[in-house]
Chains A and B, each alone.
Chain A
Amino acid sequence: MNIDDVRLSADLSKITIDDKKIDSYLTDMQDILKFIEQMNAIDTDNITPMAHPFDLSQRLREDKAVAQIDRQILQSNAKNIENGLFLVPKVIE
């Protein structure tokens, strides 16, 4: 991992890393990755990945709609609302 990797991850995560801090981020992350790479010590070729603690299947719910709680209440935490819309800086497509 190098500085560019940190920057790319930051970019994908929409987080800005201060130039002054980037070296310490890099060092920390390199240490962590090195630590993580201990996993490579063992062969896992024939092991299936486990995404979930238990091997269960997805439950399905009945297709029945329920009215939502009031829009005004749902939007009460938003900083920028107009005519029921969430406002964001202009989206350029």
Chain B
Amino acid sequence: MKYDVVIGLEIHAQLNTESKIFSLSPTRFGADVNTQANEVDLAMPGVLPVLNEQAVIKAIKFGIATDCKINNRSIFERKNYFYPDLPKAYQISQFEYPIVGAGILEITNEKNELKNIGITRAHLEEDAGKSLHENFTKHSGIDLNRAGTPLLEIVSDPDLSSAKEAVIYAKKIHALVVYIEICDGNMQEGSFRCDANVSLKPRGTKELGIRSEIKNINSFKFLEKAINYEINRQENILDDGGRVVQETRLYDADKNETRSMRSKEESNDYRYFPDPDLLPVIIDNKLIQNIKDKMPESPYNRLKRFIDDLDLKEEDANLLCSDIKIADYFENIIKIGNLKPKLVANWIIVELMGIINKNNKKWQDNKINEQDFATLLQRITDNTISGKIAKQVFAVMWDKGDKPDNIIKKEGLQQLDNDDEIKSIITDIINKNPAQVQQYKDGKHKIIGFFVGQIMQQTKGKANPAKVQEILKQQLS
């Protein structure tokens, strides 16, 4: 039988705060075990949670950037279950009243169709610790460094209909949370993890099938593979006339399969109720407006503007909008130097990104400031130097961090722009090459390239090529 695939994603984005959501412990990744887990994270008797302001602000930023509803009143509730990585035996989460309500995200799917994916909600909660199984035979070791790290759980509607589509959606959310700087997006370190709810139903029917939930997928590649494995598994079950069991499954990347997590199934009555240690979070519209005012333009808007207004190629615009720092850099250079967007885009993408990649560096390693970059490009447009010379200057800027004007001056790279000087060089060359002059006069106009080459050689490329052409033509005719 043919089936429709129905997928919903729950994305857990760790918010990049300095301290945990309810305790003062640092959230830094990679510290020695249990050195970032204080008495609150250890759920010692009598300790209490206090909410981190930045966690709330970052959740609101997500809501603003996705145009989701931001709820003026949200409630933290306790989700009760026993698990060794959950020291209180309840997770503080949001249930009935999440901080961010419904919204819509538009994606271009693998068939190149525009599709609206509903965001059901996004809520704040605390991350759990980690159970470590290596190095022990009869035991597991519990590290609570991660316990209490703020998470934004972004829940989609079951609108996704293929593994590829799910990945496109997840990538778009990933790019967004990185762009608005609420999450570092580091998937290896678990800063961005996906749970996928997958179910099948006979093609064209309405009623949803029984779903399984694949937990904790931490790469886009695995997300695609895990979903496809799960689709396949369920298809086989249904084709054989069986029933899919509603359960939580774990994706094993080594074996490329999902398997049932029995341990999580035992108690599924979470007994949510409002956490009496915390009060309702009240967000007034003024606060939302304040955050909005300080927020950068949404990446989608910016992308559209780069393509439509700045006339960039979609590919280039995408590249520039992949990181807010790059996009800002790009626009600031345009503004400072009053430059053409295409020129700046080319220089950033070809030259700057080229040199970064060649040296195995990251964007953060770029030390050329916007002012210097703008000055360099201005020297091209004001004909001080040619584009070719500019590349030389740029290389020195990258290596030595010197200012472009200093480099041009020091190395004597200034373009020859003086009419008289160029004229005398040209006269000299014409006089030395009578044969070629004759060829030109006989109508072989292509020979002009020979003269330009000679002139450039003599001026070490500094002569203004446009001027050279102009004066050459005058003198030859």
Write the residues of chain A forming the contact surface with B, with a CB cutoff of 8 angstroms.
Answer: 11-12, 14, 51-52, 56-69, 71, 74-75, 80, 82-93
Q: By DSSP majority rule, is chain A's interface helix, strand, loop, or mixed? A: loop
**B263:A92 contact, CB within 8 angstroms:** yes
Number of interface residues of B (CB under 8 A): 57
**A64:B24 contact, CB within 8 angstroms:** yes
B133 touches A (CB below 8 Å)? yes
Task: Using A66-B19, A87-B142 as known contacts, say yes or no to A59 and B24 having CB atoms under 8 A apart.
Answer: no
Contact partner of B24 among A65, A84, A85, A90, CB < 8 A? A65
B71 touches A (CB below 8 Å)? no
**A91 CA / B432 CA spacing, docked (Å):** 90
Chain A hits for B37, CB < 8 A: 68, 74
B82 touches A (CB below 8 Å)? yes
Chain B hits for A65, CB < 8 A: 18-20, 24-27
Give me 26 A-to-B residue pairs in the complex whose CB atoms sit less than 8 angstroms apart, sorted by A's number.
A12-B80, A51-B75, A52-B279, A56-B279, A58-B279, A58-B281, A59-B51, A63-B55, A65-B24, A66-B19, A68-B36, A68-B39, A74-B38, A84-B32, A84-B33, A84-B34, A84-B35, A85-B132, A86-B144, A87-B136, A89-B140, A90-B133, A90-B140, A91-B133, A92-B262, A93-B264
**A85:B143 contact, CB within 8 angstroms:** yes
Residues in B111-157 with C-beta less than 8 Å from chain A: 131-133, 136-144
Other 11 A-B pairs with CB < 8 A, given A51-B276, A90-B133: A63-B52, A65-B19, A65-B25, A65-B26, A65-B27, A74-B38, A75-B34, A84-B35, A87-B140, A92-B262, A93-B131
Chain A hits for B52, CB < 8 A: 60-61, 63
Task: Using A87-B136, A87-B142 as known contacts, say yes or no to A12 and B269 having CB atoms under 8 A apart.
Answer: yes
Residue from A57, A59, A71, A93 having most chain B Cβ neighbours under 10 A = A93
Q: By DSSP majority rule, is chain B's interface helix, strand, loop, or mixed? A: loop
Chain B hits for A82, CB < 8 A: 136, 139, 141
In the complex, residue of chain B having the shortest beta-carbon distance to the beta carbon of A77: B44
B190 touches A (CB below 8 Å)? no
Scan B232-264; emit 1 where CB is below 8 A from any A CB, else 0.
000000000000000000100000000001111
Task: Using A57-B281, A91-B133 as known contacts, say yes or no to A67 and B26 having CB atoms under 8 A apart.
Answer: yes
**A93:B261 contact, CB within 8 angstroms:** yes
**A84 CA / B145 CA spacing, docked (Å):** 11
Chain B hits for A71, CB < 8 A: 34-35
**A87:B36 contact, CB within 8 angstroms:** no
Contact partner of A64 among B18, B34, B138, B281, CB < 8 A? B18
B84 touches A (CB below 8 Å)? yes
B206 touches A (CB below 8 Å)? no
> How far, in Å, is B238 (CB) from chain A's closest CB?
26
Chain B hits for A63, CB < 8 A: 17-19, 52-55
**B42:A88 contact, CB within 8 angstroms:** no
In the complex, residue of chain A having the shortest beta-carbon distance to the beta carbon of B73: A57
Chain B hits for A14, CB < 8 A: 82
Chain A hits for B24, CB < 8 A: 64-66
Residue from A59, A65, A66 having most chain B Cβ neighbours under 10 A = A65
**A90 CA / B136 CA spacing, docked (Å):** 8
